[in-house]
Structure 1
């Protein structure tokens, strides 16, 4: 998503001005938000001082806000101390979104993720211990035919070790112009709709969660939206996925959503 952009931390003056403008707008329309998201793709990588200033101003100008969220990587979760993460939580940062993608190191290397599965686990536990909720995203079909077995096995292990507060699955789609599309053009074997359902079923069947996890697959890339709370609804969801798997046609591939 962000490969065409060079990562940089915007000056505090710009960010704080954006927050003030947003507050002016919402005050004019008389509808203050309860949730705010700090953009863009890796906001937790900003310096601690910058995040503190932003969160303090949000608390001042948006008194109704109950939760501030960010995208995060294992790298920047590990870079910050647990005390720093606790401080951010105290200032209103209540949820971070982590693109786990896969628990298989070979798949993570293939997709140039930049972190190992063990680093994902350590970072996630550190973040949640600091009082920040974690939403984890895993990618169905990311390892293709070659790595599907290890992708399922290792992703289930990592999800079990993390037991995030929220879990969602996205389907890997070969959008033209992306590295994944070029891999497919060079012979990377995608999974069929039936096989993607099998991956989701098997990951959930193998995973074991130590806390209640809110589960959703309502992203536009998914053909089969489903949701529930794990582990309470886990068996029911696995059985439903098995039924869909049995009914799914053989040899068909997921269509690319029109607006992707």
Structure 2
């Protein structure tokens, strides 16, 4: 499969065929992210996408899962997305799931009816990068939306019947704003009430604008145990009905997984034990962490 630049996908899409129907990220201004800084956003043409699908069919006709890349492929016009979905289910007889990244602004640009139509034509899961629920932090990292807009985007996806997976970034407020980052992020996630929640831990590559602030000392990264404390506060504040929580990405210091709220106490007990005992031996070594 030919890809333009590096390809990124959610951890849960590890076994999926990745189809790059867009290049880069339409927003591409987040100061903590360097994933698409070397790309100019564009939506591939219908002809290009048909060729991509044909190549994928030749490689794995029995594929059951497909992920549509790049950064916010949901920006593609709804009519074209429906054509793509229809072709995928026609070409892949065993296809069960199609996922896609959805930026909050691009989700809000689609009407509830459009999202419901995408669901009806086989789109399964939308991945929304919430990152933080604190408005000052969202502004500082140039996310481009407020917490209320983030809530509206998440609720719109859920209302359409699509499965929603949200991501937050532990440490995004730095040492100066860690408590409010955790509390406000819990507020936003509780208001959205997603089906899945992934907590990554901040790692800043040299190309990310935030790296300059770290070099100047105006942004201080959290220590491993400060990161765990932030997760602890987040979990204590969360009020969700049924959400699979994962903090087992390569960036995280301590792999965690639970279904909330049922296993919240068990998770908090684990965190408290590691933090209280300063159990360094249970943490992922710094050199093993990755994006």
How far residue 247 of structure 1 moved from its aligned partner, in angstroms, is: 2.3
- Which residue number corresponds to residue 181 of structure 1? 211
Structure 2 length as normaliser, TM-score? 0.83
Does residue 9 (structure 1) correspond to residue 9 (structure 2)? The answer is no
Counterpart mapping for 1:177-256 below 5 A: 177-187=207-217, 188-209=219-240, 211-248=241-278, 255=286
Counterpart mapping for 1:82-161 below 5 A: 82-161=112-191
- Which residue number corresponds to residue 56 of structure 2? 22
Counterpart mapping for 1:61-76 below 5 A: 61-76=91-106
Q: Is the 8 A contact 2:107 2:153 kept in 1?
A: yes
Change (3 A) 1:256 1:161: farther
Unaligned runs of at least 5 residues, structure 2: 1-34
Counterpart mapping for 1:24-43 below 5 A: 24-27=58-61, 32-43=62-73
- Which portions of structure 1, spanning 4 or more consecutive aligned residues, are displaced by more than 3 angstroms? 256-260
- Which residue number corresponds to residue 193 of structure 2? 163
Taking the aligned partners of 1:108 and 1:248, their CA distance within structure 2 comes to 31
Taking the aligned partners of 1:85 and 1:49, their CA distance within structure 2 comes to 11
Unaligned runs of at least 5 residues, structure 1: none
**The residue matched to 2:232 in structure 1 has which SS?**
helix
> Which deviations, in whole Å up to 9, do the C-alpha atoms of 1:145-176 show, x marking residues without a partner?
11112101100101111110000110101333
Higher helix residue share = 1
Taking the aligned partners of 1:131 and 1:63, their CA distance within structure 2 comes to 23
